[in-house]
Amino acid sequence: MVKNKKISHNEIISSYMSYVLENESSPKSVYAFAKAYNFDESLFYSHFGSFESLEKAIFKTFFNNAMQALETSEEYPTFDTRNKLLSFYFTFFENLTANRSYVLIALNDNKNHLNKLKTLTELRKSFIHFINGLEIETIDFKQKNITQFQQKSIQESAWVQLLMTLQFWLNDSSISFEKTDIFIEKSINTSFDIISTTPLKSMIDFGKFLYKEKMNLNL
């Protein structure tokens, strides 16, 4: 059989996801993967250095797809910071839901939490860049070192919040993942209220929701 002379970055991603879904595991080797999809092994390495880098790219692609959807929206540029972040969350998790079976295998079947986080490193870079671009307002202390600390704190807390939401979604069995939508809205509103120093009502509301759901966040 004549092998494909070319295969694109996205075609490799699509083929890899299909392989994982059909076999419920990663290919044993790049050679076996290339053979299964009829392309030269060398073409894989022109796009990815390893399966690990490919898996990282998949989650970055989920992010990119969400951002592309938002950027084509006429309303999105008019949103304030809070609603831009909410829009990202809802769009991103819609994308994950469309690929839920793969995400479950990639994350839930990986018992090593460190490896889970390694798989999400490219997603983290893109998400932090997105958070920085939102220019979230904080209290102005007129001191550079405090401002830098605030910005770093926002980046890290935003990333932890995304991980918490991801873990909640992975465990969510509600119809159309309605509870995840509630989690997103309450957690985002609470985080913005904390930044604006008016947190009490939202924190109590979010706390009641978490207690009711008895979350087990161990991602």
Domain span holding position 18: 9-45
In a domain, residue 74? The reply is yes
Cα distance between residue 120 and residue 30, in whole Å: 21
Give the angle 81-94-176 at the CA atoms, nearest 5°: 115
Cα 126 to Cα 15: distance, rounded to the nearest angstrom: 23
pLDDT tens per residue, the chain (219 residues)?
556 668 999 999 999 999 999 999 999 999 999 999 999 999 999 999 999 999 999 999 999 999 999 999 999 999 999 999 999 999 999 999 999 999 999 997 655 566 678 999 999 999 999 999 987 765 443 444 444 545 677 888 899 999 999 999 999 999 999 999 999 999 999 888 776 545 545 655 777 777 777 655 555
Q: Radius of gyration over alpha carbons of the chain, in Å?
A: 20
Q: What is the domain count for the chain?
A: 2
Same domain, 69 and 100: yes
**Cβ atoms 159, 124 nearer than 8 A:** yes
Say what the pTM is.
0.83
172 within a domain of the structure (yes/no): yes
